Amino acid sequence: MSSLKEIKGRIHSVKSTQKITSAMKMVSSAKLRKAQRIVENFLPYENKINALLQNFLNAEDSVVVSPLAETREVKRVAIVAVSSNSSLCGSFNANVIRKLEQRAEYYHYLGNNNILIYPVGKKIQKACSKMGFTPQCDLETLIDKPDYEGAARLAGELLRLFLKKEVDNVELIYHHFHSRSSQVLKNEVFLPVDLQQSGKNNAHSVNYIVEPDRETIIEELIPKALRLKMYASLLDSSASEHAARTIAMQMATENANDLLQELSLQYNKSRQQAITNELLDIIGASFGMN
């Protein structure tokens, strides 16, 4: 059985850890509320742009052909994977890394030189290097404070590569924030755009009067919608990270509390045993003297 001093030291250590995890939980909760507000403020704008695009695609006698929707044989692929810059967020980063490994394995026949990885976050960037891939650019700062300009630059680079036929397919791997306790890992095709799917499920189409013409407007809307999608993915992932860390720190705090109860019980039993032993020694010594 451990000595009283050892148990007391463990109790002190667990209490210190519990204070840290509790503080981290409060910080993550505050960051989560801020991230949620940003997402809630941004979603109406993104939904309106997507609805506008769907209305154009659903218009009668409208045949839309876009170079961004061109489907071709995949000879080179780009994958954008979004993780966090720090740990202590449960399986958040491990899920992204596992999915990236699966997609890299799926495209292994292309060779590593034809699989371009755009890692957003330190954790996925380190995993990317361990897998034998060279990160295409440094995007660590893009996840700490997601901003539209940074997301637009990344989306613009991917659009440029696709239009120049330097890549034939672009995928996104990120977490979708569903609720505080649920973050869903997504693996979506970013390019080419599926215009038929984008134009579905819109029963209330609006016939707009547009200038200069419908095709020109659509050519402007599609890249804008893609830039917004990239930004939305970063916001989603950021909110998911804070939610995952909040839950992880809450569980760690609760586990520390359970461990403290066990250690306190063990300490009291050991202390009681020590007192009993001392009494027995005193009684034994007194009988010996008699």
Query: What domains are there in the chain, each with its CATH number?
Result: 28-247 (3.40.1380.10)
Q: Which of 50-59, 72-81, 140-149 has the lowest mean pLDDT?
A: 50-59
- The pLDDT-based confidence of 210 (bands split at 50, 70, 90) is low
Mean pLDDT of the region 150-159: 94
Chain centre to alpha carbon of residue 69: 27
The whole-number pLDDT of residue 288 equals 62
What integer is the mean pLDDT of 169-198? Answer: 88
Which pLDDT score, from 0 to 100, does residue 203 have?
Answer: 47
Whether residue 131 has pLDDT greater than 50: yes
Instruction: Please state the pTM of the whole predicted model.
Output: 0.85
Token output for 57: 């695609």
Is residue 202's pLDDT more than 60? no
Task: Give me the percent of the chain exceeding a pLDDT of 70.
Answer: 88
Residue found by looking up tokens 């009681």 in the block: 272
Q: Is the pLDDT of residue 286 over 80?
A: no
Q: What is the mean pLDDT of residues 149-165?
A: 94
pLDDT for residue 199 is more than 90: no
